A and B are shown apart, each in its own frame.
Chain A
Amino acid sequence: MDFIKELETELVEAQNLPDFKSGDTITVSYKIKEGTKERIQQFQGVVLQRKGSDATGTFTVRKMSGNVGVERIFPSASPSIDSITVNKRGVVRRARIFYFRERTGKSARIKERRIYN
């Protein structure tokens, strides 16, 4: 099994993604190809889950677009991810906060995790 781990670290270039977990609000900047041009689009929302690890890992980000919830699953090793910034660290008790989908309005708030130095 170590062969796979070795290979994954070797083949997947170090992405230097910031550390984030479910409940955090992040902005994902990802590259979009339009014909021959490439541009960067942003997707800001709450992380619902992180899944897998290394080369096969993904994370789900949910945002409200008007009244409609939009979820996007990004492979964390994808080269089309330009950068990720963590906007807010949230306090949640679960690794996968699917209950968050049913929440709207005031209940769809996540307490912020304060980091004291």
Chain B
Amino acid sequence: MPGIIGRKIGMTSIYSAEGKAMPCTVIEAGPCVVTQVKTQDRDGYEAVQMGFGDRKEKNTPSAMKGHFKKAKTDPKSKLVEFKGFENLNLGDIVNVDIFEEGEYVGVVGTSKGKGFQGVVKRHGFAGVGQATHGQHNRLRAPGSIGAASYPARVFKGMRMAGQMGNERVKMENLQVLKVLADKNLIVVKGSVPGAKGSTVIIEK
């Protein structure tokens, strides 16, 4: 899918024509530089690789320096491949104006990390719900995780405690409310995964 790389700025609200307040997220998107064009002949599939965000020359490995030099651009901090773009050449610049107001996009980000969490927070288990009747340190316990001698094992994928957040999350069907091409800003309705300042990918 064609898309663009951006940085989440934060949230605010906008009023619709009917006067309803809509929560929205502001994303600084692009300009992105095409750093590589992959073709069916050479790579086995069609795609373009785009770069976004500045990166210091001294922090760039020399192999990457050569990669960016080919595209005649400064080193970029984030590289993402997109399919579905047509007629893009090495070094081309993609701006936020590929999106129109009113259309629906998907936004990919890395969700905020919550650390190692129990089942109540991580999976929405109800917990025990009672403080008395013999409940000692069982308030937020998961309860039974399966039957006994048959199947004599715990099924794969059983919901248990563990790392929550800090994973790739995609929010689909977010409406584009505003595109401010001169400031490289895009405003989408609703929330977007990740913390402020984190990198996001906006897809058509």
Which residues of A are in contact with B by a Cβ distance under 8 Å?
A: 1, 3-4, 6-8, 11-12, 31, 54-56, 75, 77-80
- Asked whether any CB of chain A lies closer than 8 Å to the CB of B12, the reply is yes
- The smallest C-beta distance from B187 to any residue of chain A, in angstroms, reads 7
Q: Tell me which residues across on chain B come within 8 A of A75, comparing CB atoms.
A: 13, 21
A11 touches B178 (CB 8 A): yes
- Asked whether any CB of chain A lies closer than 8 Å to the CB of B139, the reply is no
Whether A1 contacts B10 in the complex (CB less than 8 A), given A7-B187, A11-B178, comes out as yes
- The smallest C-beta distance from B183 to any residue of chain A, in angstroms, reads 7
Which residues of B are in contact with A by a Cβ distance under 8 Å?
A: 9-10, 12-15, 19, 21, 26, 28, 178, 180, 183, 185, 187
4 closest Cβ pairs, A-B complex: A80-B19, A79-B19, A3-B9, A4-B10
Closest to B15 in A: A79
Q: Is the interface of B mostly helix, strand, loop or mixed?
A: strand
Interface contacts beyond A7-B187, A75-B13: sample of 9 additional A-B pairs, CB < 8 Å, sorted by A: A1-B9, A3-B28, A3-B183, A12-B15, A54-B12, A75-B21, A78-B19, A78-B21, A79-B19
Q: Of B9, B19, B21, B178, which contacts A4 at CB under 8 A?
A: B9
- The smallest C-beta distance from B200 to any residue of chain A, in angstroms, reads 14
